[in-house]
Amino acid sequence: MPKYNIFVTRRIPVAGLTLLKKQGYKVKVSPHDRVLTKSELLKEMKGIDALLCLLTDKIDGEIMDAGSPRLKIIANFAVGFDNIDLKAAADRKLFISNTPGPEITESVAEFTVTLMMALARRVGEAERFIRAHKYRGWEPMLLIGQDLYGKTVGIVGLGRIGSGVARRLKNFGMKFIYNSQHRNLDFEKEFNARHLSLEALLKQADFVTLHVPLTRETHYLINRKNIKLMKKTAYLINTARGPVVEEKAVLQALSTKQIAGAALDVYECEPAIDCDLKDHMELRKLDNIIMTPHIASATIATRSEMSVTAARNIIAALQGKTPPNAVKSE
Ligand code: GLV
């Protein structure tokens, strides 16, 4: 059997690495627990058959060429794959794969609902209030928020995660509207849901939750113009990808109370929280926002599942098969 070399750009749960080693592959994990620089990654590409990379690694044609002629697959440890130049990969006949799976769907859906509840009931503000020694006793008007019960949730992107969010919220007594490329009649029936244009959804939803991949079409899907359509009492939740939302538009809408609140797990210029350094801290100064550091899939079970999924994709590619989670060029 040929000796295959795998490079993993950062420490990940061992389950997937064990699987790769069981195949007799030589697995090297980056010794640095940080994002590699481009020149570091270029060096590591030499002589490898498969790259297991993360959403924080920008993979372009130059990186791919550095792995030539042996490189067969770039296995992304993420559901999203906007960090990889798919066209460059297709030109070079390289497999690209991602890590969808039952665990990650549930983790991200669960975290999205966590953020919705935290927003509606002002959990972040309440916690900061306690820490600032402001609590003097029960008050009828203290930190009153909103119920999810009876409200309308607008789901933008009805894939696995969007549907997982709906499944959870059904028991909360919410009403459903959604926007997606294709209508899903089974979903409409089961959830008594209406398929709407994005504009109509933004006008009607009390909670707008985003579950689309980042593509040319979804870049700035929520922007300065259409955020104005949202109700003053509405909330925006983004656990998808930062650039799906024009962050300055959110900043402005929150500062002027044009919308009631937002929860962001992802950022336009990640890991920076504000793209424009002049705006440094602006989002952080607001009370009506909850910000988390891209952790929607961060559970032990999910990260372990992702490492196994990435490994299975690599094994398939090195056995000359199409990986189960091969991603196609746009
Ligand atoms: C996380 O953001 C992922 O795409 O898996």
Delineate the domains of the chain, giving CATH numbers in brackets: 5-101+300-318 (3.40.50.720), 103-291 (3.40.50.720)
> Out of 211, 241, 303, 312, which one is annotated catalytic?
241
What whole-number distance in Å separates Cα of residue 169 and Cα of residue 180? 18
**Which ligand 1 atom lies nearest to the CA of residue 99?**
5
pLDDT tens-digit series, residues 120-158: 999 999 999 999 999 999 999 999 999 999 999 999 999
306 lines ligand 1 (CB under 6 A): no
Residue 278 has pLDDT above 90, yes or no: no
pLDDT of residue 96: 98
55 lines ligand 1 (CB under 6 A): yes
Name 65's Cβ contacts closer than 8 Å, sequence gap at least 6. 92
Contact 41, 9 (CB under 8 A): yes
pLDDT of residue 276: 75
What whole-number distance in Å separates Cα of residue 247 and Cα of residue 279? 11
Q: Between the CA of residue 29 and those of 11, 298, 305, what are the distances in Å?
A: 6, 20, 18
Residue 1 has pLDDT above 70, yes or no: no
**Which ligand 1 atom lies nearest to the CA of residue 81?**
4
| Least confidently predicted of 96-105, 273-282, 283-292 | 273-282
pLDDT tens-digit series, residues 15-72: 999 999 999 999 999 999 999 999 999 999 999 999 999 999 999 999 999 999 999 9
What whole-number distance in Å separates Cα of residue 65 and Cα of residue 84? 13
pLDDT of residue 38: 98
Q: What is the mean pLDDT of residues 235-253?
A: 97
Q: Is 178 helix (H, G, I), strand (E, B) or coil?
A: strand
Residues in the chain: 330
Tokens for 3, please give them. 């000796």
Strand order in the sheet with 152-156: 194-195, 175-179, 152-156, 207-210, 235-238, 261-264, 289-291
The alpha carbon of 285 and the centre of ligand 1 are apart by a number of angstroms equal to 27
∠ CA 97-103-107 to the nearest 5 degrees?
110
Confidence of residue 330 (pLDDT cuts 50, 70, 90): low
pLDDT of residue 275: 82
- Tokens 């499944």 locate to 167
pTM for the full predicted model: 0.95
